[in-house]
Amino acid sequence: MPMTRSHALWAVATLLSTLLLIAPALWNGFPLLEYDTGGYLARWYEGTLLINRPLLYGLLLTANVPFAFWPVIVFQSLLTIWIVAVVLRTHGYGGRPMLVFGIIAVLSVVSTLPWITAILLTDIYAGLAILAFYMLLARSDQLTRFECWTFVVLIACACATHSATLAVMLLLSAASIVLTVFDRTRLPRMRVAQGVLAVVLGIVIVIGTNFMLVKRFAWTPGGFSMYFGRMLQAGIVPKYLDKHCPDATIKLCAIKDRLPDNADDWFWANKDFDKLGRFAGMSAEMERVAVGSVADFPLDVLRTTIIATAEQLVAVRTGEGVVNWIWHTYFIVKDWAPQLQPAMWAARQQKGEISFTAINALHYPVALVSMAFLPVILIMGWTGRLPRAFGDLAFVCILALLANAFVCGGLANPHDRYGARIVWLAVFVAGLALLRLYQQREGSAAPTVARDILAT
């Protein structure tokens, strides 16, 4: 079939958008790395389960070692472009490739998006799964059958890449089940069932890939350990130990006066934790103490959970973890992909040449303002000032941000990386709403250049 002008525009828009989304890696000279990258890469080679490092993403990294991981970030970028294009189409902006490019260009400047498409981490899949879930439930009448089932697979694979993403999607699934009870017309049960099916499939993938790895049905470890870290950092674990020690069955009693007040210090830089066998040796006891802390100090747990959730909600700065002292990842590359070391060490990140101070001077306020604007979009969409679909999209985004803050902050510990991984959704939704409001205000009087871009 001959290439039409539309095909050519889509090809150009896709190419330019992809270059923007991998631009940080191109500038760096190597895909961006983080401490967790090594844990994913090592799973297939080491044949063991590691806390919050499911095998699926590790398989993607392993398959692309011969290509220095570049296909991974290109794939992540193309997937993002496609999802954005489908969202635009289902909100009245179909068939406009240069608008897709324009949206990607704006997000690449004012949001954290390119910094999570260009890094070897699972973070980008959290936001994409949320958008896919929304479209399955609220816009499926405008999707092709191929798109519907591709979104099911995308959600499932995203859930299988990280426990926090799975937890967020479980909360969204629970919310959809509740909502369909009250409004079955707008949210039919078959649509909800399709979304829930995708999340359940993600659970099956986790168990299945773990069986491939360790030849037994097992869940990826880490859930209660992370919650123990939350209780430790909140000061509740010391209170629990003061109440129950001495107790020969609690190994932590012997070191309770040496426990750090920071979960990251405990998990990643504590000699006592190492001597006690780290996660393999302490998982059962950390689960016991975490659950016991909830039973003994429920009000303290509730108060600190609310505080940590609120802190996580505004912890959305770009670039956390993109540093040059991620030694675990460096050692994994040295052990299992030594041919990549010259390129890795030549990158700007490993030379300490990446700073996010100026970037966050823009990204952080834009993120906060965008989140604050979401309730306004919701009200405008549900009162007719904007199309109802915009209000629905804002509503799902609000639910996702709250769920993510609860899972990552309230059940673990607040980190900017956890918030930044989905806050770009708020910027995207806010930008889409502003575009529609501009069109509604200007109508046919819109400037010629703007009209031409929007009509392309």
Instruction: Determine the Cα–Cα distance for residues 123 and 80; give it in Å rounded to an integer.
Output: 12
Residues 6+ apart with CB under 8 A from 398: 374, 375, 378
pLDDT of residue 455: 43
* Range in 158-162, 282-286, 344-348 the model is least confident about: 282-286
How far apart are the C-alpha atoms of 350 and 438, rounded to whole Å?
44
Point out which residues pair with 119 in neighbouring strands: 32
Residues 200, 240: one domain? no
- DSSP lists the bridge partners of residue 32 as 119
Same domain for 56 and 87, yes or no, is: yes
Angular region, 221: left φ>0, alpha ψ -120 to 50, beta rest: beta
In this predicted structure, the answer to whether residue 450 has a pLDDT above a threshold of 60 is: no
Q: What is the mean pLDDT of residues 13-30?
A: 98
Q: What is the pLDDT of residue 185?
A: 78
| Same domain, yes or no: 367 and 233 | no
**First and final C-alpha spacing in the chain:** 22
Residue 183 sits in the same domain as residue 288: no
Q: What is the pLDDT of residue 1?
A: 55
Helix (H) or strand (E) holding 179: helix 163-182
Separation CA 120–CA 108 (nearest Å): 17
The pLDDT value given to residue 171? 96
Instruction: Decide which of 399 and 180 is more confident.
Output: 399
200 and 285 co-located in one domain: no
pLDDT confidence band for 281 (50 / 70 / 90): confident
Same domain, 351 and 327: yes
The residue among 402, 396, 404 whose CA lies nearest residue 378 is 396
Q: What average pLDDT score do residues 276-288 get? A: 86
Range 84-89, long-range pairs (CB < 8 A, 24+ positions): 84/428, 86/135, 86/143, 86/147, 87/131, 87/135, 87/393, 87/428, 87/432, 88/432, 89/142
Regarding whether 67 and 197 lie in a shared domain, the answer is: yes
Shared domain check, 134 and 283 = no
> Is 404:300 a contact under the CB 8 Å cutoff?
no
161 and 15 inside one domain: yes
Range of the domain at 269: 223-296
Q: CA–CA separation, 283 vs 276, rounded Å? A: 10
- List, for residues 316-326, the tens digit of each pLDDT value: 999 999 999 99
Question: What is the predicted pLDDT for the residue at 48?
Answer: 83
In tens, the pLDDT along 74-122 reads 999 999 999 999 999 999 998 899 999 999 999 999 999 999 999 999 9
133 lies in the same domain as 267: no
pTM of the entire predicted model: 0.92
Rounded distance between C-alpha atoms, residue 437 and residue 208, angstroms? 47
- 334 and 231 co-located in one domain: no
How much of the chain exceeds pLDDT 70, in percent? 96
Mean pLDDT, the chain, integer:
91
Residue 413 placed within a domain: yes
Distance between CA 133 and CA 154 in Å, rounded?
9
pLDDT at 2: 65
Say if residue 431 is in the same domain as residue 336: yes
Q: Is the dihedral of CA 110, 111, 114, 115 positive or negative?
A: positive
- The structural domain count of the chain equals 2
For residues 6 and 323, is the Cβ–Cβ distance under 8 A?
no
Give the long-range contacts of residues 85-88, CB within 8 A, separation 24 or more.
86/135, 86/143, 86/147, 87/131, 87/135, 87/393, 87/428, 87/432, 88/432
**Predicted local distance difference test score (pLDDT) of residue 448:** 39
